[in-house]
A and B are shown apart, each in its own frame.
Chain A
Amino acid sequence: MERRIIGRMHPVISIKGLTKTYAGGFEALKSVDLDIRRGEIFGLLGPNGAGKTTLINIVCGIVNPSGGTVHVDGYDIVSEFRRTRSRIGLVPQELPTDTFETVVNTLRFSRGMFGKGPDEAHIEHVLKILSLWDKKDSPIMALSGGMKRRVLIAKALSHEPDVLFLDEPTAGVDVELRQDMWNAVELLRSQGVTVILTTHYIEEAEQLADRVGVINHGEIILVEEKNKLMRDLGKKQLMLHLYEELETVPDSLSRFALELSEDGRELTYHYDTRGEHTGITDLIHDLRGAGIRFNDLQTEQSSLEEIFVDLVNKDR
């Protein structure tokens, strides 16, 4: 049996060579290696069917792996499942709820399932964080979809997990609730909870995640610090609003590969922030030489979403 690895520097989740082939022959995961650091918010991104939910379900014990190993806090998820599962909270993608139960009772049930004794103060605390306290005695079927999503998060937090999986937590919820959830995630981060977030709203990962992993066709194609990823793979563009309308871009500026807008009033220059020279100084110099004047300029950086789409498209 493997010895448990303890320490804050070691990953809280360590996945090695994880594979999953379903009975029908579909290969959902192909030798996935991934480490999740303690206390971070990790954004796991990928298109539909990429393997995100399968990966989460295996770590949580809902699906049996076909091969490979997963350790949570140094414990094996198969042979030491009690230790691993008691540390994990899961908010699933769908909205599976005990329709006829009251909110507070379903939290008590969840807490008990994870081996924790009754603690009404903690349940009250969780319900208040998620603005559910006034709904505590309501049957779940009487709640809106957004409220049910909050209940699922409250259930996952009811047993005080060290690691929280949020599988598409804000799918189909309104802007206000999404902001509430982001606040709740930030609060959990401040309390040292590790959060693994899958989302279709890339802006969510852009706002919350410390690191980002991209999975496609059952393989992890990239894991990187979010800021570094955006810096390295992100592109910038400089837009110049021209003083006078331009019919074509002069040949003397061809090396800059400028794009001229249809109305001839805007030039766009794409540049790479990683390069030694961005070329902006040369461009402005050559523009002056060509007698082209501008009255305004602005820059834009590509979003995480654009980077994600680029990565996934390249992997096709």
Chain B
Amino acid sequence: MNFQAIKAIYRFEMARMFRTVVQSIVAPVLSTSLYFVIFGAAIGSRITEIDGVSYGAFIVPGLIMLSIMTESISNSSFAIYFPKFTGTIFEVLSAPVSWAEVVIGYVGAAATKSVIIGTIILFTASFFVDIQIAHPVIMVTFLILTCVSFCLFGFILGIWADGWEKLTIVPILVIMPLTFLGGTFYSISMLPPAWQTVSLFNPVVYLISGFRWSFYENADVSVALSLTMTVSFLLICLAVVRWIFKTGYRLRN
């Protein structure tokens, strides 16, 4: 294992985050805080409780998920796309590193940023609404698994994309709608039965449901199923990344 290379990539990526701290951390935290202000404090007070939880508190796990999913994809896709765009990827490709070391470096750094952002948002939310975390270990597990999974997804996206438009089109046209329709602002049980069934095909439902359960012990689907789906998504992404490096798809050809 080339630990020096992992460390080099990780430090390089973290340094990039601290160089662009406003864009990397302040912007997502600010935009998510606005959700708390609008839906939590302003409109939320006029909405009835959901499963015994105030609306402002109910949306916190969903908003954290929304933020870390989009940030994870954005961070990791940019991290690998930018070297491709500028040509500096040659150094990664010509270095004595395996696909796993490259992934640990890039995805590890991107996931670290996402965890930091998620933690700051959670801390910020506590100023606006009353939050309780019933299962902190499960909460952290979901947080980390989601960050890593979506960073891997973003990494794949960054390798696949051959233009800036492709890099942004998937998060905007696919991830954002899935997240908004995945129970960020409502419980799936509030939907008509037919739409409840349709929602179960949305993988984000399982992530938000499991994460919310760790806070309030309320879930749209079982926690075990949520965990299984999250781990499955992570493993699929890992398999795709391994295939990319094995074949050289969009990297070595």
Partners in one complex: yes
Counting CB contacts under 8 A, is B248 at the interface? yes
**B-contacting residues, A184-199, CB 8 Å:** none
Partner-contacting stretch, out of A94-102, A126-134, A288-296: A94-102
Taking a contact as CB atoms under 8 Å apart, the answer to whether B5 and A115 are in contact is yes
A155-B2 CB under 8 A given contacts A22-B253, A64-B252, A64-B253: no
**Docked CA distance A7–B12 (Å):** 38
A109-B2 CB under 8 A given contacts A63-B253, A97-B88: no
Q: Which of A60, A94, A112 contacts B4 (CB 8 A)?
A: A112
**Docked CA distance A100–B20 (Å):** 11
- Residue of B whose beta carbon sits closest to that of A86: B96
Q: How far is the CB of A143 from chain B (nearest CB, A)?
A: 15
**Docked CA distance A88–B86 (Å):** 22
**Chain A interface mostly:** loop
Counting CB contacts under 8 A, is A114 at the interface? yes
Counting CB contacts under 8 A, is A92 at the interface? yes
Q: Which residues of the other chain, B, contact A81 by a CB distance below 8 angstroms?
A: 96
Interface string of A73-114 (1 = CB under 8 A from B): 000000001111110101010101111110001001111111
Taking a contact as CB atoms under 8 Å apart, the answer to whether B96 and A114 are in contact is yes
Taking a contact as CB atoms under 8 Å apart, the answer to whether A90 and B5 are in contact is no
Counting CB contacts under 8 A, is B134 at the interface? no
Q: Which of A62, A64, A97, A115 contacts B94 (CB 8 A)?
A: A62
Q: Which of A88, A96, A110, A111 contacts B87 (CB 8 A)?
A: A96
**Docked CA distance A125–B233 (Å):** 48
Taking a contact as CB atoms under 8 Å apart, the answer to whether B93 and A62 are in contact is yes
Q: Which of B8, B15, B252, B253 contacts A113 (CB 8 A)?
A: B8
Q: Which residues of the other chain, A, contact B96 by a CB distance below 8 angstroms?
A: 81-86, 114-115
Taking a contact as CB atoms under 8 Å apart, the answer to whether B8 and A90 are in contact is no
Q: Which of A83, A92, A108 contacts B90 (CB 8 A)?
A: A92
**Docked CA distance A274–B84 (Å):** 51
Q: Which residues of the other chain, A, contact B12 by a CB distance below 8 angstroms?
A: 98, 101, 109
Number of interface residues of B (CB under 8 A): 27
Number of interface residues of A (CB under 8 A): 35
**Docked CA distance A23–B94 (Å):** 21
**Docked CA distance A243–B7 (Å):** 76
Taking a contact as CB atoms under 8 Å apart, the answer to whether A99 and B86 are in contact is yes
Q: Which of B5, B15, B91, B252 contacts A63 (CB 8 A)?
A: B252
A98-B252 CB under 8 A given contacts A60-B94, A113-B5: no
Q: Which residues of the other chain, A, contact B11 by a CB distance below 8 angstroms?
A: 109, 112
Taking a contact as CB atoms under 8 Å apart, the answer to whether B90 and A62 are in contact is yes
**Docked CA distance A63–B90 (Å):** 10
**Docked CA distance A116–B3 (Å):** 9
Q: How far is the CB of B30 from chain A (nearest CB, A)?
A: 23
A90-B16 CB under 8 A given contacts A64-B252, A114-B5: no
Interface string of A240-256 (1 = CB under 8 A from B): 00000000000000000
Q: How far is the CB of A111 from chain B (nearest CB, A)?
A: 8
**B-contacting residues, A4-43, CB 8 Å:** 22-23
Q: Which residues of the other chain, B, contact A98 by a CB distance below 8 angstroms?
A: 12, 86, 88
Could you list 7 further interchain pairs (A-B, Cβ under 8 angstroms) beyond the known A60-B93, A108-B8, A116-B4? A61-B94, A64-B248, A84-B96, A85-B95, A100-B16, A113-B9, A115-B5
> Hey, which bits of chain B sit against chain A, CB under 8 A?
2, 4-5, 7-9, 11-12, 15-16, 19, 86-98, 248, 252-253
28 contacts between A and B (CB under 8 A): A60-B94, A61-B94, A61-B252, A62-B93, A62-B94, A62-B252, A63-B252, A64-B253, A82-B96, A82-B98, A83-B96, A85-B94, A90-B94, A92-B87, A94-B87, A96-B88, A97-B88, A98-B86, A98-B88, A100-B16, A109-B91, A110-B91, A111-B8, A113-B92, A114-B95, A115-B4, A116-B4, A117-B4
By Cβ-Cβ distance, the 6 closest A-B pairs, closest first, are A112-B8, A96-B87, A113-B95, A82-B96, A85-B96, A60-B94
> Hey, which bits of chain A sit against chain B, CB under 8 A?
22-23, 60-64, 81-86, 88, 90, 92, 94, 96-101, 105, 108-117, 155
